[in-house]
Amino acid sequence: MTPIISIVGYSDAGKTTLVEKLVPELKKKGYRVGTIKSSHHELDFDKKGKDSWRHFASGADAVVVASADKIVMIRKHENTSDDSYAQLLFIENHLSDMDVIIAEGYKSAGFPKIEVFRPQAQNEPACLNDDTLVALVTDADVNISVPIFGLEESERLADFVEQKFLSFQNVPK
């Protein structure tokens, strides 16, 4: 199973910014990195009237659009519950050729979490008492029993991810 690490935190804490910094650091180390972004909004990737939209609208359960450099899949979600753990496992099947999956959000999914905490937004980290919290990225002085990284320490954080989650794997591809 591909390791899944959730980047969590309150709204506007900097989760996407951290993902943008962490992915290139892991890529520099030679790892294949997949990302998953949780969304609470209805997704609309396809434009009405386009062929792929028409395929999906006709009732197809999955539509793949492939070009020389990209593959995009639109697929009906079979699990309509709010079970984020099951959703991540379902998606992981489509990313099984990755070395690591970075999921933004999915705070309640039960996978290892790295929280981004900004004290100007909240009084304390959201996952303070969460057993799946493995690290905190912050610009605050926080007393917590997990490793703490500064907001600009993406290289050090990538080293941590590699040691904790990827050391069992063979040399990067």
Distance separating alpha carbons of residues 10 and 14, to the nearest angstrom: 9
- As assigned by CATH, the class of the 4-42+78-166 domain is alpha beta
The dihedral region occupied by 20, where left means phi > 0, alpha psi between -120 and 50, and beta the remainder, is alpha
pLDDT for the residue 54:
84
Residue ranges of domains in the chain:
4-42+78-166
Mean pLDDT of 110-131: 93
Where does the pLDDT of residue 165 fall: very low under 50, low under 70, confident under 90, or very high at 90 and above?
very high
pLDDT for the residue 42:
54
Reported as a single tens digit per residue, the pLDDT across 78-92 is: 665 667 888 888 888
Check whether 171 has a pLDDT greater than 50: no
Task: Quote the pTM value.
Answer: 0.85
